[in-house]
Structure 1
Amino acid sequence: MSTRVDGVIERVRKVYGSWTRDTTVAQMRQDWDTLFGSVPVNASLEDVDAGGVRAQWVSAPNVDTARVLLYFHGGGFQVGSLVSHRELMACLSAAANCRVLGVDYRLAPEHRYPAALDDAAAAWQWLIDQGHASRHIALAGDSAGGGLALSLLLRLRDAGKALPAAAVLMSAWTDLTASGASYGTRADSDPIHQRPMIVAMARNYLGKGGDAADPLVSPLFADLKGLPPLLAQVGDRETVLDDSRDFVARAREAGVDATLQVWDHMIHVFQQFPAELPEARTAIDDIGRFLRRHFAAT
């Protein structure tokens, strides 16, 4: 296992290590797409305009087209795209037997909060306007995208709208204040993400006047009552480990059906490496079973 994980870490570090203060955001985005987006996928791809937001249908062969997973990619709200997350979306489509609609929401620093959340809400409403029942839709996201999925749930709930059947969170960024104890306890074991980096990304996303403790920015601090069933997966080596552990604990206290899976030895969004990591494939299979169960219950 150590050799496999070390190989993945080395791939990611080559990208991070090439960045300097002079590296442009455009170059970072291109590098991220190159790192993750070069693998052919066994899925059909269809670009769509989802209520004014660029999006893409990703459909594994013979899936149930009546079921939809609305997906928000990670990348600290600054990098990541439909290209970088295409393989993961295709794997999720196959595992959950549903179509995946990946959302190319606007990124910082060009578009700061609440642009990403507005785009997420627009894509959701587009699905509803297309005739998809909320009970046949689930949400998913990784890292910043996991936090965005939760923010969308909170916005929908507070507006009195019908909620999706379930939501899946992978290494979700739920606390942009970076207050979790794991920023200290996992600092030596996390090979990539350290607290100063996380704080800087939050500042870049929010701008000078942004409030990192706003519940729609950091869902950890929200009233979580009434949310649909949740599955949270996170690696034991992550500094953002407590973003998931603390969030699930608070969700359960609020009466939410929330399941936490902590994966030993795994790093941030390890599910993006299904070719290298058997654990990634197993985690994706678990997500598929979770989603199929809750789609069937609706």
Structure 2
Amino acid sequence: MTVSSSTPASAPSAAGDSVASLPELVIDPSVFAPSAVSPETRAVNAGIVKALGAVPDRWVFPMALLRKLRLDGKGPFPLAPESPYASVEEIDGPHGPVALRIYTPPEPAKGVYLHIHGGGWCLGSARENDGLNHRLVERTGFAVVSVDYRLAPEAPWPAAPDDCEAAALWLVREGKARFGTEHFVIGGESAGANLSVATLLRLRDRHGLSPFRAANLNAGCYDLGLTPSARNWGDEPLVLNTRDINVFVGHYLREGGEVATPDISPLHGDLRGLPPALFTIGTRDALLDDTLFMAPRWLAAGNRAEIAVYPGGCHVFIGFPGSLADKALARIVAFLAAS
């Protein structure tokens, strides 16, 4: 794993004086070595590639069918049983009702985690994240509010960030009365991490709000123009490959939108005034560069950041069983608990 520091360092100037420098982000290069990948992680990855490689071209099927298969437990990620903590309610959004899957802890909530699921802006649902969100409730004592935002291609950009913005504003208005706390954090996986940052920027720029104490950003896609790791990944079906990313982006932006717009590609945005963030990524993720580029930009904007890079971890590896996922989840829990 990597080590990160968000404490300003001092460096001698040419005149011999000490001058403040930007926080230093230290990444141990050994985590990228093939030898750093455990046999268990290799086996998990091999199983994923074998399973997905045996499936016909999934993009010949309608998106609605792919969504149903995921909800039937036939997607790439294991489907956990429904959480007994979960209930569903709807709030008003700019395009109609927005469903929220709310996980309520048995004891008074210590905080509220606004969760935004992944799936390339086209797939996925709050229900499919019951396993991870149930564990977060149990290990942090937080309530979780997971947003079932509208999906492309039926509802392309800006529908998804519009719905996420509405959910965040609902939490700001209702959170204290509903959960007994204003200790709010935000986060998500893949497209959900993208939407989490877009939501932070919208609340800051449109509403003058900074209600979240921390951001948990897992395997995010922060540049829809494709970073080098995404562009050069190729066809290997280790959860996500280059073609998948291009298909997702094409559906999400099918009605237009400039790729470099921060609402679409937050890597290009003004990141000042955002909360401390934990960036989690595996070295066998097509979106590796997105995190390696975004974490330093977060720091350079004057925000605290931690980065955790896991040897051999595939795209959103925390969704698969194994000790690597257990370690990452423990780091996430500790980060949220300390927020």
TM-score by length of 2: 0.79
Aligned to 1:82: 126
Aligned to 1:149: 196
Aligned to 1:22: 60
Contact (CA 8 Å) 2:122, 2:153: kept in 1 or not?
Answer: yes
1:49 Cα shift? 1.4
Contact (CA 8 Å) 2:149, 2:160: kept in 1 or not?
Answer: yes
1:120 matched to 2:167? The reply is no
The range that moved more, 153-162 or 112-121, is: 153-162
1:58-207 maps to which residues of 2 (within 5 A)?
Answer: 58-62=103-107, 64-132=108-176, 135-159=182-206, 160-178=208-226, 180-183=227-230, 187=234, 191-207=238-254
Aligned to 1:279: 324
Query: For residues 43-98 of structure 1, what are the alpha-carbon distances to aligned partners after superposition, in whole Å with 9 as ceiling and x for unaligned?
Result: 41111113331011123543x42510000000001100022111111122223220
- The change in CA–CA distance for 1:154 and 1:7 in structure 2 (over 3 A counts) is same
The range that moved more, 38-47 or 79-88, is: 38-47
Mapped partners of 1:119, 1:12: distance in 2: 33
The range that moved more, 167-176 or 134-143, is: 134-143
Query: For residues 175-214 of structure 1, what are the alpha-carbon distances to aligned partners after superposition, in whole Å with 9 as ceiling and x for unaligned?
Result: 1110x22236655877242223212211110115222211
1:269 Cα shift? 0.5
1:32 Cα shift? 2.0
Mapped partners of 1:262, 1:250: distance in 2: 17
Query: For residues 150-197 of structure 1, what are the alpha-carbon distances to aligned partners after superposition, in whole Å with 9 as ceiling and x for unaligned?
Result: 00001111121133111101101111110x222366558772422232
| Number of matched pairs | 290
Counterpart residue identity of residue 50, structure 1 = I
Residue 6 of structure 1 is aligned with which of 38, 43, 61? Answer: 43
- The change in CA–CA distance for 1:188 and 1:20 in structure 2 (over 3 A counts) is closer
Q: What is the root-mean-square deviation of aligned Cα atoms in Å?
A: 2.3
TM-score by length of 1: 0.89
1:115 Cα shift? 0.6
1:47 matched to 2:88? The reply is yes
Structure label with greater radius of gyration:
2
- The change in CA–CA distance for 1:7 and 1:131 in structure 2 (over 3 A counts) is closer
1:245-264 maps to which residues of 2 (within 5 A)?
Answer: 245-264=292-311
Mapped partners of 1:189, 1:200: distance in 2: 15
Query: For residues 228-278 of structure 1, what are the alpha-carbon distances to aligned partners after superposition, in whole Å with 9 as ceiling and x for unaligned?
Result: 0000100101110011110001111111101111111110001112xx211
Mapped partners of 1:2, 1:84: distance in 2: 28
Q: Sequence identity, in percent? A: 32
The answer for unaligned runs of 5 or more in structure 1 is none
Mapped partners of 2:127, 2:59: distance in 1: 25
- The change in CA–CA distance for 1:289 and 1:246 in structure 2 (over 3 A counts) is same
- The change in CA–CA distance for 1:198 and 1:184 in structure 2 (over 3 A counts) is closer
